[in-house]
Amino acid sequence: MCGIAGWFSDREAITDKADVLDKMSETLCRRGPDEHGIYADEHAALLHRRLTVIDPEHGKQPMTQQLGEHAVTLVYNGELYNAPELRRELKSAGCEFSGHSDTEVLLRSYLYWGKGCVERLNGIFAFAVYDERDRSIFIARDPIGVKPFFYCDYDGGFIFGSEIKTLLANPRVKPQIDEQGLMEIFFIGPGRTLGGGVFKNIGELKPGECGVYKDGRLTKRIYFRITAAEHTHSRKQTIDFTRYLLTDAIERQLVSDVPLCTFLSGGLDSSIISNTAAEHFKKRGKKLDTYSVNYTDNKKYFQKSLFQPNSDEEFIDIMVKHISSQHHEVVLDNKQLYNALFDAVEARDLPGMVDVDSSLLLFCREVKKDFTVALSGECADELFGGYPWYHNEEILFEECFPWSRSQDIRRSVLKKGFLPRGEEYVRTRYRETLQLADSLPSDSKLMKRMREMFILNFRWFMQTLLDRKDRCSMYSGLEVRVPFCDYRVVQYAYNMPWELKSLDGREKGIVRAAFSDILPESIVWRKKSPYPKTHNPVYWQLCVKGAENIISDPTSPIREILDIEGIRRIIADPDKISSPWYGQLMKAPQILAYIAQVDYWFRRYSVTIV
C-alpha cells in the first residue's frame, strides 16, 4: 500500500521541476512512510511513497524493466490477491521473477498482456505504467474503486496522484471550485459524483476504468461493469457459494510480511472476517489480534434508535471468547474526537462524514502503533441489502437517494437564493445513476428496483465509505483491506434474487445463513448496527461552539453563504431534525460538525469560488 504520483508535459522539461516534484512527493509521505522513489526523464516523472507490506527488498518502486533499448516503469498502490496464480501463469510462459512482490507480478503482467492485463487482476489497485518508447502512460483503477486515482488533464500535460493534495502541490492545479463544486459540497456531500474531485479541473478514474495518455490526449475506457445475468443456483448452492466466495476473499487478503490484525465490532461482517482470520492464524500456531472502538462514557449516554438498536460491547466479548483473539479496545475522548474533524479534512482533502471520519482516523492511529495491515467489514451492507432503506417499501420506491431523502435540511443552512439549482442537481445525478443499472427482461418490478438500489449504493454510499476508509487509515500509514469488495462477490450479489439475499426476511439473510454454523447464534442473528458514534453531550456542546464561532466570525469564508438563523434553529432544537443529512448517523451534531469542516476546508486549502 503506497502513494503514487506523476507529471507529464509535452512542453516543459520536468527535470527542471525538482522542487515541485519534491512537494508532490511530500504530500504522500503519510501513505508511504517507509521509502520514497522517483523516476524522471525530460518530459515525465513518476513518484512513489512506500508502505512496506510484502517483499521489502524486491518490491521497491518505481519499478523499471528494460525492453531492448527502452524502459517501461511502474508506480503502483494496492494489493493483488491473485498474484500467486498470475505468477505461475507468467512463469509457465517464460517470465522470470527476482522476488515475490505483487508489484513485479503487475509489471510482468503488463509487459506480457499489455493493456488487457487489467481484466486478469483481482485486487485493490491504482497504477501507472510509463513507456519511454512512445512517451505514453497507461493508467488503471481497481474494479470496485477501493484505491484512489485523481488527475488533472490540462493543455500540454497530465498530472496524477493518490490524493487531491498531491495535485494541488503542483502550480498547474488551483484550489478553485465553481457552482458544480459548491453543489457537490452542500447538496451531495459528503458523497461525491464519481469521476470528479469537487475542485475545478480535477477528475478521477472511476472504478473499473483505465486509460492512456499520449501525445497530449487522454483516452479512457471502462474495463469492468456490473452486469445482469440469470442466477442459476438453488438456495443451498447460493448459501454454499456465498460462503466460498467470502472465505476465499478473506483468506487471500491475509497474506502479509508485516503484522496483521482485524477490526471487530461484534457485528456480522467483522465477525465473519475475524473468525476466518483466527482459524487461518490458528493453523499456523498464531493468535489473532482484534480491535474495536468506543467513546468515553458512551455506555452512560447510549440511546437505542431504529438505526442503532444496541451497543457493541457484549457482542464483541462473545466473539473474542469464540475465536480466542487478543482483543484491544480503543477508547476515544470526545474533545479529541472533535479536534480530529480537521485532521480528517486534511486526510480526505474535502469535508467528510465528520465524527465517523475523525473517529476512524484516531482509531487507525492507535492500531498503527502495533500493526501495519488490518481487515475490515466495509460494504457488506451495500451489496447484501443491510440498510433499512432496502426493507422499507415506502422508502424503497421513492425517487431519491435513500440515505439523503430530503434536501430541506441542506437548504435550511444556506442563504436564501444560494445555489437555486441544488435540488435539480441531485435529481439529475440520481436519474443518471439509474441508467447504469443493467437488468433482464424477466426481472420483476421488485428485482429491477433492487438492481437500481444496488447500483445507487455501489456508486454513491459505498464509494463514500471507501474514500473514508482509504484516506483515514492511510493518514497514519495503516493499510486496511476490505474482503467484501472482491469483484467476484460484487458481481454475484448483484444477480442474487432478493428472496435469497434477504433470506428468512432478514437483512443480509444469505450471509447469515452462509456462516450460521460457525458463528455464535447471537452474532448470526444480531440486528444490523452501524459504525458506533458518540452519544456524549460534551461532543454536542463542542459542535455548537464551533458553529457559533463560524456564524459570528466576519472573516469566515462561508459565513456569507450560510443562513445564520437556520443554523441557530438547529442549535436551539436539535431533536426537530427528522431526516439525517446523510446516511443513518448525520443528525444535528454532525450537521454542525460538517459546517465546521467546510469552513476549515475553505481556509486550509485557500479555496476560491470561480
Q: Mind telling me the catalytic residues?
A: 2
How far apart are alpha carbons 45 and 170 in whole angstroms? 13
Contact 102, 88 (CB under 8 A): no
Contact 164, 349 (CB under 8 A): yes
* Residue 218 dihedral angles phi and psi, to the nearest 5°: -105, 125
Contact 223, 210 (CB under 8 A): yes
How far apart are alpha carbons 254 and 188 in whole angstroms? 35
How far apart are alpha carbons 450 and 434 in whole angstroms? 11
How far apart are alpha carbons 251 and 233 in whole angstroms? 24
How far apart are alpha carbons 209 and 196 in whole angstroms? 13
Beta-bridged to residue 77, according to DSSP, are 126
Contact 430, 399 (CB under 8 A): yes
Nearest Cα to Cα of residue 147 among 73, 259, 51: 51
Alpha helices for 27-138 (secondary structure H): 83-92, 102-113
How far apart are alpha carbons 502 and 354 in whole angstroms? 31
β pairing state of 136-141 and 123-131: antiparallel
In the chain, count H helices and then E strands.
24, 19
How far apart are alpha carbons 15 and 229 in whole angstroms? 51
